[in-house]
Structure 1
């Protein structure tokens, strides 16, 4: 698959889109790296496969009925909070490597998530991307319970400018890494959106995780 670049929805400047290969999971660490099998001891991570599409919560309907909030200007992201799965962690900037793959947070920092800093800022018009480990050799990591989220769950991103973007989960899906829907995950809709991405599905000592868990969320409030 070739890398893509192009304008974000709403006429924002052109930005590089991460290669889908950046979302293929390694055999040992369960993180977001290029699709290859690294050296490792073959020990099995703790995450197991779960349902490909998770059930809806009726609370999502109330969020959809609210007027759309005004998008925020660009600003670096600082912190991620997901109360439903007890996530309250700092965000670090992530960038692409020379092959167009997203460099993941360090495996030595399992409680840190990262946002694609050359892409859309959380709360601005476009699709912001946040990535994190599902597990590491140290044990369960920041997104270990990401696939347990349901529609209507709240996600907050605290920004460097002092503003907070509040998103509401609209879907949680499991995408096989060999059929990853790049346009659906990265594509803009003309409004502020957020994607949280980690590894998921069945795990093999030969090929690693078979899929990626993707949380889709839309901006529903700011403060």
Structure 2
């Protein structure tokens, strides 16, 4: 998965610039609708993400852009993105959570994300606090358009929003082997 965020314009400049994300040359695996195999006994505490309509209930971990400039969570991980003005899920602002559809040919944490529809619920739990979000947008988005998407990377200081992102096969592959598009779910807290 490669997401290339562009910093949204703000009234005050950032104290230090974020690295410019780039793409990697390895080919993506074909998408699978198989649910990920996660041992429930090894999942404990912290932030959790649940989308009951697709059978998703997984922990979230934080991560940033790697040294190659990619947002690329580890296999089996729903990773909320630090930096670029994004927030921890559940906080006021926009939280971006990335995950893979496949890893090593098997369904990964966001294997069924493309089945999420407008009106579905996304639930974030942190300790004893649970926040429910309603999906307002769920669609295939070209990666080139995603980098400028205001719902994802724009400034938001007034509402709790969560954005779930994974790769999508619908628009095919680029010449470097990466998918042309992502599946993007945008949900606002109720």
1:4 aligned partner: 7
Q: 2: CA distance between counterparts of 1:18 and 1:135?
A: 26
Matched, 1:45 2:30: yes
- Of 164, 171, 181, the match for 2:130: 164
Q: Counterparts in 2 of 1:56-205, with a 5 A limit?
A: 78-98=47-67, 100-102=69-71, 104-107=72-75, 110=76, 112-118=77-83, 119-160=86-127, 162-180=128-146, 181-189=148-156, 190-200=158-168, 201-204=170-173
- Of 8, 16, 23, the match for 1:35: 23
1:219 aligned partner: 189
Structure 1 counterpart SS, 2:73: coil
Q: 2: CA distance between counterparts of 1:88 and 1:159?
A: 13
Q: 2: CA distance between counterparts of 1:2 and 1:126?
A: 16
Q: 2: CA distance between counterparts of 1:7 and 1:106?
A: 31
1:120/1:95 Cα in 2 relative to 1: closer, same or farther (>3 Å)? same
1:184 CA displacement: 3.3
**TM-score normalised to the size of structure 1?**
0.63
Matched length: 169
Asked which structure has the greater CA Rg, the reply is 1
**TM-score normalised to the size of structure 2?**
0.73
Q: Is the 8 A contact 1:45 1:137 kept in 2?
A: no
Aligned CA-pair RMSD:
3.3
Q: Is the 8 A contact 2:30 2:105 kept in 1?
A: no
Q: Unpaired runs of 5+ in structure 2?
A: 34-45
1:17 CA displacement: 7.3
What's the CA shift string for 1:12-66, capped at 9, x where partnerless?
Answer: x9897786x5xxxxxxxxxxxx42322x6x8x52349xxxxxxxxxxxxxxxxxx
